[in-house]
């Protein structure tokens, strides 16, 4: 950052130096032109036909030897020079003999002459005027100012670097506090409070907090799922152990239960892992693919998706939504006879996911029980009722709710409501 700033300032100094040099040169040239006009006006021809110039009619600077201000006037074969030239030859460039304009020449010593040549006619005779000024003092003065400017730039760069480092250090203290807060969450599963967060990074803080909440809820659901899976596997494994201890030939029922549990978990993994993990949830893109996966798992069930009302994008976690929809569809297909319907719409204050089937349905008393973890109403159907409980946990993290009603198809109608403020849809 400091190197770039120095590079830019150096470029500006170079541009400023040459610009000031040109401005000063133009100023000197304007003065030389004025003096040349004065010389032409005061040079006169005497009664003998010779041209003369009264030194008193010009500035006294032209009378001092090597004053840095010089002139030369040429009329026919007559040459008139300023007293300041003394015995110094006036450097006249071959290309500037009888052409008006300006050029530079090296003068006596270390002088650098800026010369202006001008041609005029007076009394029918051509007069050529060369007038010069030593611009070396002006150039040295400009270099001195440039040196001061360089020192000022260096001081400014050092000061800005110090102030920038101090500002960044103060700003990064907020991120250090955030890091400690995240570390406390990771080690203690508690959040530190009292952070003075600047408004500029508040959106970042909110995104981090949202991510932490999602990860916490996902870990919680994963722990519950693993615990319930272990609890479910425990019964068939214990039955096999008892049969082995009693010397009874093991029956196929425990093995079939274990195989079913493994197949079910693999099926759920396939449902939630259909695309890349994470990101926003796009119902219009994700749900058709999910329905195709479910049709392959349940080829005898006709799954109908209402695509006319699908939303393009939701600011909701994709994995959460796929797990929610996948569990509801899996549960509906498991109990349906022939048909399952899926609909995802936006209402005034919430998003609504509706899944219904044409199964046998449930009594009102049974509907109140299916939200409880581990309750399975139909013992003849493989399952443990955890799918709906997982859906309820997901909705709780979004302040949503899960409701159960009787479907017009004859089976169960499950409705998931998600508040609009938890995700912006397009």
CATH number at residue 415: 3.30.565.10
Please tell me whether residues 117 and 14 are part of one structural domain. Answer: yes
Bridge partners for 104 per DSSP: 114
Mean of pLDDT values over 141-165? 86
Give yes or no for residue 164 having a pLDDT over 80.
Answer: yes
Please tell me whether residues 111 and 212 are part of one structural domain. Answer: no
Tokens 């109140």: give the residue: 368
Please tell me whether residues 79 and 216 are part of one structural domain. Answer: no
Nearest to 120 by CA among 105, 130, 111: 130
Q: Are 20 and 143 in contact (CB under 8 A)?
A: no
pLDDT at position 425: 44
Mean of pLDDT values over 158-169? 85
Please tell me whether residues 8 and 113 are part of one structural domain. Answer: yes
Q: Is residue 256 part of a domain?
A: yes
Give yes or no for residue 216 having a pLDDT over 60.
Answer: yes
pLDDT at position 383: 45
Give yes or no for residue 298 having a pLDDT over 70.
Answer: yes
Please tell me whether residues 372 and 228 are part of one structural domain. Answer: yes
Q: Is residue 177 part of a domain?
A: no
Domain boundary, last residue among 120, 140, 160? 140
State which H helix or E strand residue 38 sits in.
helix 2-42
pLDDT at position 275: 45
| Residue span of the structural domain in which 352 resides | 205-422
Of 212-221, 307-316, 403-412, 414-423, where does the model show the most confidence? Answer: 403-412
Weakest-pLDDT range from 6-10, 162-166, 257-261: 257-261
Q: Is residue 351 part of a domain?
A: yes
Q: Is residue 161 part of a domain?
A: no
Interval 261-284: pLDDT, tens: 676 666 656 555 544 445 678 888
Give yes or no for residue 166 having a pLDDT over 70.
Answer: yes
Q: Is residue 389 part of a domain?
A: yes
385 or 282, greater pLDDT: 282
Domain boundary, last residue among 94, 119, 140? 140
Please tell me whether residues 259 and 128 are part of one structural domain. Answer: no
Q: In which band, very low, low, confident or very high, does the pLDDT at 197 lie, cut at 50, 70 and 90?
A: low
Give yes or no for residue 424 having a pLDDT over 50.
Answer: no
| Chain-centroid distance, C-alpha 194 | 29
Please tell me whether residues 129 and 224 are part of one structural domain. Answer: no
55 or 120, greater pLDDT: 120
pLDDT at position 260: 67
CATH number for the domain that contains residue 46: 3.30.450
Q: Is residue 176 part of a domain?
A: no
Domain boundary, last residue among 140, 161, 179? 140
Please tell me whether residues 258 and 376 are part of one structural domain. Answer: yes
Give yes or no for residue 375 having a pLDDT over 50.
Answer: no
pLDDT at position 59: 83
Mean pLDDT of the chain: 78
Joined together, the tokens standing for residue 334 give 């498991």
Give yes or no for residue 194 having a pLDDT over 80.
Answer: no
pLDDT at position 187: 62
Question: Residue 135's CB: how many other CB atoms inside 10 A?
Answer: 21
Q: Is residue 159 part of a domain?
A: no
Please tell me whether residues 212 and 103 are part of one structural domain. Answer: no
Give yes or no for residue 220 having a pLDDT over 80.
Answer: no
Q: Is residue 40 part of a domain?
A: yes
pLDDT at position 110: 80
Weakest-pLDDT range from 130-139, 234-243, 315-324: 234-243
Give yes or no for residue 410 having a pLDDT over 60.
Answer: yes
Q: In which band, very low, low, confident or very high, does the pLDDT at 191 lie, cut at 50, 70 and 90?
A: low
Please tell me whether residues 306 and 228 are part of one structural domain. Answer: yes
Please tell me whether residues 314 and 398 are part of one structural domain. Answer: yes
Mean of pLDDT values over 47-73? 84
| Chain-centroid distance, C-alpha 379 | 56
Angle at 141 between CA 138 and CA 147, to 5 degrees: 145
| Rounded distance between C-alpha atoms, residue 188 and residue 109, angstroms | 84
Please tell me whether residues 352 and 219 are part of one structural domain. Answer: yes
CA distances from 41 to 51, 122, 152 (A): 12, 9, 47
Mean of pLDDT values over 347-374? 78
Instruction: Name the domain count of the chain.
Output: 2
pLDDT at position 395: 85
Q: Are 212 and 184 in contact (CB under 8 A)?
A: no
């Amino acid at each position: 950052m400091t190197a770039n700033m120095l590079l830019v300032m150096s470029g500006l100094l170079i541009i400023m130096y040459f610009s000031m040099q040109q401005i000063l040169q133009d100023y000197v040239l304007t003065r030389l032109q004025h003096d040349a006009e004065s010389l032409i006006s005061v040079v006169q021809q005497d009664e003998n036909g010779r041209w003369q110039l009264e030194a008193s009619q010009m500035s006294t600077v032209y009378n001092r030897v090597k004053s840095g201000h010089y002139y030369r006037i040429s009329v026919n074969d007559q040459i008139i020079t300023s007293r300041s030239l003394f015995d110094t030859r006036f450097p006249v460039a071959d290309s500037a003999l009888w052409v008006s304009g300006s050029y530079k020449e090296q003068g006596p010593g270390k002088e650098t002459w800026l010369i202006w040549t001008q041609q005029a006619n007076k009394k029918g005779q051509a007069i050529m005027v060369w007038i010069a000024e030593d611009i070396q003092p002006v150039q040295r003065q400009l270099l001195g100012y440039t040196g001061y400017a360089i020192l000022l730039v260096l001081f400014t760069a050092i000061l800005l670097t110090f102030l920038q480092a101090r500002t960044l250090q103060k700003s990064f203290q907020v991120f250090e506090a955030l890091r400690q807060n995240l570390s406390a969450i990771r080690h203690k599963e508690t959040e530190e409070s009292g952070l003075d967060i600047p408004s500029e990074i508040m959106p970042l803080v909110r995104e981090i907090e949202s991510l932490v909440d999602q990860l916490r809820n996902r870990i919680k659901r994963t722990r519950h799922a693993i615990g319930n899976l272990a609890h479910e596997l425990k019964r068939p494994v214990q039955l096999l152990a008892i049969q082995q201890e009693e010397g009874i030939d093991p029956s196929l029922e425990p093995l079939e239960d274990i195989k079913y549990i493994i197949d079910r978990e693999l099926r759920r993994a396939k449902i939630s892992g259909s695309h890349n993990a994470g990101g926003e949830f796009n119902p219009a893109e994700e749900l058709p693919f999910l329905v195709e996966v479910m049709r392959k798992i349940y080829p005898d069930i006709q799954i109908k998706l209402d695509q006319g009302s699908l939303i393009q994008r939701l600011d909701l976690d994709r994995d959460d939504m796929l797990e929610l929809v996948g569990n509801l569809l899996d549960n509906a297909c498991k109990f349906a006879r022939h048909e399952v319907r899926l609909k995802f719409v936006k209402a005034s204050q919430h998003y609504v996911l509706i899944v219904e089937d044409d199964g046998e349905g449930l009594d009102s008393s049974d509907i109140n029980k299916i939200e409880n973890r581990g309750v399975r109403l139909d013992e003849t159907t493989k399952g443990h009722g955890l799918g709906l409980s997982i859906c309820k946990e997901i909705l709780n993290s979004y302040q949503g709710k899960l409701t159960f009603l009787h479907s017009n198809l004859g089976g169960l109608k499950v409705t998931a409501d998600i508040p609009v403020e938890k995700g912006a849809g397009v």
